[in-house]
A and B are shown apart, each in its own frame.
Chain A
Amino acid sequence: MKVVLRIALGIIAAIGGFVDIGDLVFNTQAGAQFGYTLMWAVPIGVVGIGVYAEMSGRVAAVTKRPVFDVIRMRMGLSSGLVVLVASLFVNLLTLSAEIGGVAIVLQLFFDAPFTLFALLGALGLITIIWFTPFEGIERLFGYGGLTLFVFVAAALHEQPDWHAVGHGVVPEAPSSTLYWYFAVGLIAAALMPYEVYFYSSGGVEEGWTPKDLLVNRLNAIVGYGIGGVLSLGLMVAAAQLFEPAGVEPDHLGTVALLAQIPYGETGLVLALLGMLFAIGGAAVDASFAAAYSIAQFAGWEWGKYRRPSGAPRFTCAWLLFFALGLAILMTGIDPLDLTEYSVVLSVVALPLTYLPVLLIARDRTFMGDYANGQIARVLGWLYFVILVVVALAAIPLLLATNAGGG
């Protein structure tokens, strides 16, 4: 029972990190435009984030060092600073997009001006973070986000063509640039760096030791596995309900239609609630990831388990990021545009984030008997090659496809 409760960390990282506004939109658009043919990209992203989350959690449990600590130690001050600036920029865009996503869902529930709900949404999240312990935050957003399973139920309800689904697990060779833009976007959305910053720091927050490595492994497999199932559910449902109708889901509200069509108002409400919790959880992840990164890089006291007075600069950092994220939204920029740019730009930071984790996790001087085994070593390097390819392809594809506009 205790182990089940502790898997919550993986579930919030998966629901509120893996399935965030970027995944909700990218997976639905991919299904609506390309049917089942991009399904293969989801497991690639899921296994990748699972491999690196497990490594970063293991490093945190054994050495008590979260990811950004490792980056600075392994890359030095100046290179580490480049990664810090890049990741903070992407985190800020992500946080802003997530606050915007929360505002859109609230608007769909209550119909009032977007800016009002952006403000209320940000204040609500700040209040929850301020008054709720770390474990409480995990459970609130992680378990609340489970209502997203209504999309998986919708996908099954529509009786997918399993033969076509089977073909979807193999990439199509002669495809358009837009197809590959979406493939890169889906893989990148799964591997957003803030997820491992949050995950490994969360492990330190929860006081993990080598005794918790089983929980870490289960978190990585179950948590991100659930995220992957949800992503596939969205894509399959969109392939069945949107592709034949010719719908191009360019709005977050459109995603909820996937649950409304088979289940009516109940499905709609479950979908919107799930989206609210998942996107809210991702906003918490992104704000904490930014604050963790700065605090760990600068050597400040950090952690939610400390009271705000015990880690004042860390507390100011996440509050400041909320304020900046809100300020960006108030310029009138569309949260979905922000999402798209944050996902694609984060790709460039992926190798810089994950290489130090890989190098430390395999280093026996640091990790002793807990260093990478054969499987982790092979998967780690394989995914590093994939990350480099994806990073090199992302910007040209963004420009060639007019940011997915075709």
Chain B
Amino acid sequence: MRRLLVLGAFCVVIAGCGPLSRSELTRGVETLSAVAAESQLVADGVAQDRTRSTYARVQARTLADDAAHEAEKLADATVEPGFEKQRDRAVVLAGRLDDTVGSLETYPGDERVGANVHDELMSIADDLDRLTQRLGQAG
């Protein structure tokens, strides 16, 4: 019984340490898309002066942290052969997302910054969608 438990634990560790599969990479990119989508809503509130600056700042910080966390996860992981380029692209987009949302954290009451961040986030979201499509086609 004890041997079985040790073997089970070993299998779990091995499974968790394997290279990132295409579907896991796609899931990571989708998470970034969701962060970009939510950030657009926050930025829109700032751009139209329809939010509280404390709320926008805290929420932007949380979302920027999510993007940074996803970037670290993707950068640290090894991927299945043939998907390195897509992984690198995802890391770059995650970094852009982190920086863009971060500026909302710095200027949560500035409507002009809100509008610029919103536009930049739309561009990042488009890039992420294209990356998701490429990953889908690669399967």
Q: Which residues on A are within 8 Å of B, measured CB to CB?
A: 107-111, 245-251, 253-254, 256-257, 260-261, 264-265, 268-269, 272, 406
Chain B residues closer than 8 Å to A254, beta-carbon distance: 38, 59
User: Whole-angstrom distance from the CB of A31 to the nearest CB of chain B?
Assistant: 14
CA distance A169 to B52 in the complex (A): 36
A245 contacts B50, C-beta separation under 8 Å: no
User: Whole-angstrom distance from the CB of A335 to the nearest CB of chain B?
Assistant: 13
Per the 8 Å Cβ criterion, residues 52-88 of B in contact with A are 52, 54-55, 57-59, 62, 66
A-B interface contact total, Cβ < 8 Å: 62
User: Whole-angstrom distance from the CB of A17 to the nearest CB of chain B?
Assistant: 26
B59 contacts A246, C-beta separation under 8 Å: no
Chain A residues closer than 8 Å to B92, beta-carbon distance: none
8 of the cross-chain contacts (CB-CB < 8 Å) are: A109-B55, A245-B41, A246-B33, A248-B31, A248-B34, A265-B52, A268-B45, A272-B55
Contact (A107, B31) CB under 8 Å given A246-B37, A264-B51 = no
Q: Which residues on B are within 8 Å of A, measured CB to CB?
A: 27, 31, 33-34, 37-38, 40-42, 45, 48, 50-52, 54-55, 57-59, 62, 66
Which residue of the partner chain B has the closest CB to A262? B50
Contact (A108, B55) CB under 8 Å given A247-B41, A260-B45 = yes
CA distance A264 to B55 in the complex (A): 12
CA distance A365 to B47 in the complex (A): 67
CA distance A107 to B54 in the complex (A): 8
Chain A residues closer than 8 Å to B40, beta-carbon distance: 245
A251 contacts B62, C-beta separation under 8 Å: yes
B52 contacts A257, C-beta separation under 8 Å: no
User: Whole-angstrom distance from the CB of A395 to the nearest CB of chain B?
Assistant: 17
Chain A residues closer than 8 Å to B45, beta-carbon distance: 257, 260-261, 264, 268
A257 contacts B41, C-beta separation under 8 Å: yes
A251 contacts B34, C-beta separation under 8 Å: no
B58 contacts A253, C-beta separation under 8 Å: yes
Which residue of the partner chain B has the closest CB to A249? B38
User: Whole-angstrom distance from the CB of A50 to the nearest CB of chain B?
Assistant: 34
Chain B residues closer than 8 Å to A247, beta-carbon distance: 34, 37-38, 41
A256 contacts B55, C-beta separation under 8 Å: yes
CA distance A107 to B57 in the complex (A): 10
B50 contacts A257, C-beta separation under 8 Å: no
Contact (A246, B54) CB under 8 Å given A251-B62, A260-B45 = no
B37 contacts A107, C-beta separation under 8 Å: no
User: Whole-angstrom distance from the CB of B113 to the nearest CB of chain A?
Assistant: 17
For B34, B37, B54, the residue with the greatest tally of chain A CB atoms inside 10 Å of its CB is: B34
User: Whole-angstrom distance from the CB of B25 to the nearest CB of chain A?
Assistant: 14
Which residue of the partner chain B has the closest CB to A245? B37
Contact (A265, B51) CB under 8 Å given A111-B58, A253-B62 = yes
Which residue of the partner chain A has the closest CB to B48? A264
Chain A residues closer than 8 Å to B51, beta-carbon distance: 260, 264-265, 268
Chain B residues closer than 8 Å to A248, beta-carbon distance: 31, 34, 38
CA distance A226 to B58 in the complex (A): 30
CA distance A44 to B94 in the complex (A): 41
